Amino acid sequence: MGTYSAVAEVTAGADTTIMNITGGTAARVKVKYISVTSSSAPADTQTKLQLLRSTSVGTSDNDYTPVNLDPGDPKSADATVKTGDFSGEPTATIVLHEFALNQRGSYQFHAPEKAEFVSTVAANNGISLKCVSSSGTPEINATIVWEE
């Protein structure tokens, strides 16, 4: 079991997936930490986001290689990460967490022990971070740390 991270940057918009992490048939994705900020010029823009369980990978040309936080642990053999610019959105099944933020602020979530957001073990199942709505189009920067 290892701990991994991935980052993404996406222009906010309605129903825009920022990142989708799939664990595959041998591993579950257990979200430990989420950070969301904006790299755009300061403005009073409100954005609502959701963390969801997903049952499909979605279509994105942006494959991201998970970063192993402990170089001594094995590389993630099962997790695949896709980021931003999805031409086909991942299929979401359950909203696990919803939050909103002003572009001038930031958001961090630290999962309490035994209260992590966890995907099911099945082909193409995972966790998605999605922008549900936004009053503007700021760049959204996200980091997710998970354990397998």
Predicted pLDDT at 42: 86
Predicted pLDDT at 77: 63
User: From the CA atom positions of the chain, what is the Rg in Å?
Assistant: 14
Give the pLDDT means over successive 10-residue stretches in the chain (148 positions): 91 91 88 96 92 93 88 76 89 96 94 95 94 94 95
DSSP state of 70: S
Structure tokens that stand for 94 in this block: 């359950």
Distance of CA 15 to the CA centre of its chain: 14
Query: For the chain, how many structural domains are there in total?
Result: 1
The CATH number of the domain where 90 resides is what? Answer: 2.60.120
Long-range contacts of 77-80 (CB under 8 A, 24+ apart): 77/26, 77/27, 78/23, 78/24, 78/25, 78/26, 78/27, 78/148, 79/4, 79/21, 79/22, 79/23, 79/24, 79/27, 79/29, 79/126, 79/146, 79/148, 80/21, 80/22, 80/24
Which domain range does residue 94 map to? Answer: 3-147
Predicted pLDDT at 74: 74
